[in-house]
């Protein structure tokens, strides 16, 4: 769903600002920045493929930080994606192993779960936003039984589409 964090977004914008000051074209960097900004919102239609309409839907989100192994929410793709889901009428319940306290500052209007399975329970779709290793090892039979219907939007491609289909999931990844 794009890059985030405190360094790369700031550094690419700084580079283009300095280059503009000296009338130097940065076509590739400009394209990277623009593509990253578009990529986040491009994830919402991926999720919508599975639920058709967000109004009244419950979305279970796993992963909030901009990358695994951190609580850093600066420019995390999850923020814009979740805000758009809410704007379109969805409710969101999320889980992140370490970033939930930080996430509550940016996303106060969602529910936070005690664990990944609580986030999934009664959700219309499971959305993977950050590729924490523990999400790769979920008990998929349990996941399937907890979801209202077995649907996964895997925005980090942590699962193999063939495996998900064999397990009975309707599955959408990115670029697959």
Tokens coding 136: 């790769």
Ramachandran sector of residue 56 (left: φ over 0; alpha: ψ -120 to 50; beta: rest): left
Answer whether residue 33 is part of any domain. Answer: no
- Between strands 170-172 and 151-154, the pairing is parallel
Ramachandran sector of residue 89 (left: φ over 0; alpha: ψ -120 to 50; beta: rest): left
**Number of domains, the chain:** 1
Answer whether residue 58 is part of any domain. Answer: yes
Distance CA 124, CA 10 (A): 35
Confidence of residue 73 (pLDDT cuts 50, 70, 90): very high
Answer whether residue 141 is part of any domain. Answer: yes
**Active site (annotated) includes residue 93:** no
Per the structure, the complete domain to which residue 71 belongs is given by 44-172
Does this model's pTM top 0.75? My answer is yes
Question: Which of the residues 7, 18, 24, 31 is marked catalytic?
Answer: 7
Answer whether residue 1 is part of any domain. Answer: no
Answer whether residue 104 is part of any domain. Answer: yes
Structure confidence by residue, pLDDT tens digits, 100-145: 999 999 999 999 999 999 999 999 999 999 999 999 999 999 999 9
Answer whether residue 144 is part of any domain. Answer: yes
Answer whether residue 29 is part of any domain. Answer: no
């Amino acid at each position: 769903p794009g890059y985030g964090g405190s360094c790369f977004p700031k550094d690419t914008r700084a580079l283009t600002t300095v280059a503009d000051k000296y009338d130097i074209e940065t076509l590739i960097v400009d394209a990277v920045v623009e593509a990253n900004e578009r990529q986040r919102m491009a994830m919402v239609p991926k999720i919508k493929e599975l639920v058709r309409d967000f109004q009244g839907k419950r979305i279970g989100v796993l992963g909030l930080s901009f990358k695994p192994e951190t609580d850093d929410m600066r420019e995390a793709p999850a923020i814009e994606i979740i805000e758009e889901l809410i704007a379109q009428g969805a409710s969101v319940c999320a889980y992140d192993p370490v970033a939930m306290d930080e996430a509550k500052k940016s996303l106060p209007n969602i529910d936070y779960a005690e664990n990944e399975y609580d986030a999934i329970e009664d959700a219309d779709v499971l959305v993977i936003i950050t590729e924490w290793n523990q999400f790769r090892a979920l008990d998929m039979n349990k996941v399937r039984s907890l979801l209202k219907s077995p649907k996964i939007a895997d925005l980090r491609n942590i699962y193999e589409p063939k495996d998900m289909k064999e397990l009975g999931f309707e599955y959408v990844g990115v670029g697959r």
